[in-house]
Amino acid sequence: MHLEQYREPDEGLVRSITAVGLAASIVNVVVGGGIFVLPAAVAAEAGAAAPAVYLIGGCAELLVAAAFVVLGRVVWRSGGAYAYVGAILGPFAGYLVGLFTWLVGAFASAALLVGLAEMVATLHPLLQTPLARAALIIALYVMPVVVNLARLRTGTSLVVALTTIKLGTLLLFLVFASPMIQVGNLTWPESLRVSELARGAIITFFAFGGLEMALGPSGEIRSPGQTLPLGVASGVVLIVLLYIAIQMTAQGVLGPALPTSVAPLADAAARSGAGLRTLILAGTAVSIAGALVGTLLGAARMLFALARAGVLPRTVGSVHPRSRIPYVAVLVHAVVAAVLALTGTFLKLAILASVSVAFVYLSTCIAAWLMAHRSRRAGETPYSFRGSTQFMSGLGAALLVALLTQMSRAEWMAMAFTMGAASLLYAFRRGPLSSWRFWGEGR
C-alpha cells in the first residue's frame, strides 16, 4: 500500500491556521443551538448523573477526533468524513457516510425547529395548539431558508454575528445562574444503571456533532503534525468543560423541574430575575436561528456533492445562474426538515440525529483503524501512525458500538430502513441496476 494513492495534488492553499485558531474554530462550529435545550433531554435520560454522560461523550469525541486527525493527514481530499471513508472503504461506504451526514443535518434542523417553536409557544396559550405549532414551525424556518437562498456572503456574515450572540448568551447564563445552584440537586442517585448513562451519552452526540466540519480546511493548517493534535484536543476539552458547566448549572438551579423544561437555560436564569429570563430566552432564540442557518448551509452542500457524484438525481445538484447557490438542494433539505419537525418531538429527533452522528463517527474510526493497519503491514510508519493510533481508533469504534447497543428497537428499525433505502438508491444510480435507466440517465 502506498499512501500517495489517497492524496490529491497540492492545492496551493496558505497554511495559516494555528493550534489556537483551530481550537477556536472547533468550539465555534460544535457549540450550536442544541446545547440551549439539550440539558432537559439529557436529564430526562440520566437524571442527576447527567453531567457524567458528557464525560463519556467527550471521551468518544476525543477518540473520533484522533481518527479524523489521522485521516486528514493522509487523505488529501475535500469532503471530510465523506471523502475519508470513501477513500479507505470504497465509494459505497463513502456514499452512506455522506448520506448520513446529511441526515444529521436534517434531524438536527427538525429538532431545533421543534425546540424553538416550543419556546415561542410559551409566550401565549393560543400558540400551544397543534395548528399553531405547525404554523410556528413553518414560519420560523422561513428566515434560514431565505438567507441560504441569498448570496453565500450574506449567509456566512450572519452566521458570524449569530455565533457571537450564542457564546455571549451562554457566558451570561453561567455568570448569573451559577450563584443560584443548590448542591442537593447535584447529588447522584444511589443506584445508577449503565444503560441510563449510555442512552444519555448517545443524546450528547446531538451537541457534539460538527467536529468533522471544523476539520475541513486541513490544507490550510500550519505544521499539521503539531497543530492538529494540540488544536483538536484543546477544542474538544474546552467543549466538554463548557457542556458540563452548563448542565450542572441548569440542573443545580432547576433540580427535578429540569427534565420537563422546554427552555432550561432561560428557566434557570429566571431564578435571578424575570428580566434575565427574557434576555436568555431571546439569546437562545437567536442562537437556534443561527444554528438553523448554519446547518442548512452545510447540509445542502452535502446533498449537492452527492448529486454531483451521481448518486442522487442530477437536478438536486442544480445551481442558480445568478446567485450561484445550490438552490434545489437547499429547498429539498428545507422541505425534509420541516416535515420531520411537523411529525416528530424534540427528543426523538435529537436521538435520531445523535445516532446518525454516531454512525458517521463509527465509520471514520473504522477507516482510520484500517488505514493504520494497512500502513503498518506495508512498513510505512509516518507520524500519523506512530504510537497508539491504531489502538485509539479501535477503542473509539468499540466505544461507539457499545453506545449504539442501547438504541431502542424502533431506532434500529429506522436505521435499517434508511440503510436499505439508501442501498437501493445507490444500486439504481451507480450499481448494476443503473442499466435500467430508472432515473432517466443511469450512470
Q: Give tens-digit pLDDT for 62-77.
A: 888 888 877 776 766 6
User: Measured in Å, how far apart are the chain's first and last C-alpha atoms?
Assistant: 30
The percentage of residues in the chain with a pLDDT greater than 70, rounded to a whole number, is 80
Q: Which amino acid, 409?
A: R
- Cα–Cα distance, 296 to 287 (Å, whole number): 14
Average pLDDT over residues 171-181: 91
pLDDT, tens digit, 9 for 90 and up, residues 406-435: 888 888 888 889 888 888 888 877 655 444
Task: Give the pLDDT confidence score for residue 190 in this predicted structure.
Answer: 62
Task: Give the pLDDT confidence score for residue 388 in this predicted structure.
Answer: 65
**Is the pLDDT assigned to residue 441 strictly greater than 50?**
no
**Is the pLDDT assigned to residue 219 strictly greater than 70?**
no
- Top pLDDT among 377 and 39 is at 39
1 pLDDT band, cuts 50/70/90, is very low
Closest CA to 49 of 258, 302, 226: 258
Half-sphere exposure of 233 (CA within 13 A, CB side): 6
Average pLDDT over residues 395-401: 89
- Top pLDDT among 6 and 391 is at 391
Task: Give the pLDDT confidence score for residue 265 in this predicted structure.
Answer: 92
Average pLDDT over residues 315-334: 86
Cβ pair 325, 151 in contact under 8 A: yes
Q: Please name the residues in contact with 57: beta carbons below 8 A apart, sequence gap of 6 or more.
A: 201, 204, 205, 208, 240
- Angle among Cα 46, 47, 52 to the nearest 5 degrees reads 55
What's the DSSP call for residue 17?
B
- Residue 207: other Cβ atoms inside 10 A: 32
Task: Give the pLDDT confidence score for residue 174 in this predicted structure.
Answer: 93
Cβ pair 284, 270 in contact under 8 A: no
**What domains are there in the chain, each with its CATH number?**
17-407 (1.20.1740.10)
Run of H or E residues at 355: helix 346-377
**Is the pLDDT assigned to residue 140 strictly greater than 80?**
yes
- Residue 100: other Cβ atoms inside 10 A: 24
Task: Give the pLDDT confidence score for residue 215 in this predicted structure.
Answer: 61
* Max avg pLDDT among 38-52, 220-234, 244-258, 297-311: 244-258
Cβ pair 404, 417 in contact under 8 A: no
pLDDT, tens digit, 9 for 90 and up, residues 40-60: 989 888 888 888 889 888 888
Task: Give the pLDDT confidence score for residue 440 in this predicted structure.
Answer: 35
- Top pLDDT among 192 and 305 is at 305
Run of H or E residues at 217: none
Q: Please name the residues in contact with 127: beta carbons below 8 A apart, sequence gap of 6 or more.
A: 120, 121, 133, 136
Run of H or E residues at 285: helix 274-308
Q: Per residue in 281-320, is it b (16+ CB within 10 Å) or e — as a string?
A: bebbbbbbbbbbbbbbbbbbbbbbbbbebbbbbeebbeee
- Top pLDDT among 154 and 371 is at 371
Task: Give the pLDDT confidence score for residue 438 in this predicted structure.
Answer: 35
135 pLDDT band, cuts 50/70/90, is very high
Q: What average pLDDT does the structure give for the chain?
A: 80
271 pLDDT band, cuts 50/70/90, is confident
Closest CA to 328 of 339, 320, 316, 336: 316
**Is the pLDDT assigned to residue 340 strictly greater than 90?**
yes
- Top pLDDT among 201 and 157 is at 201
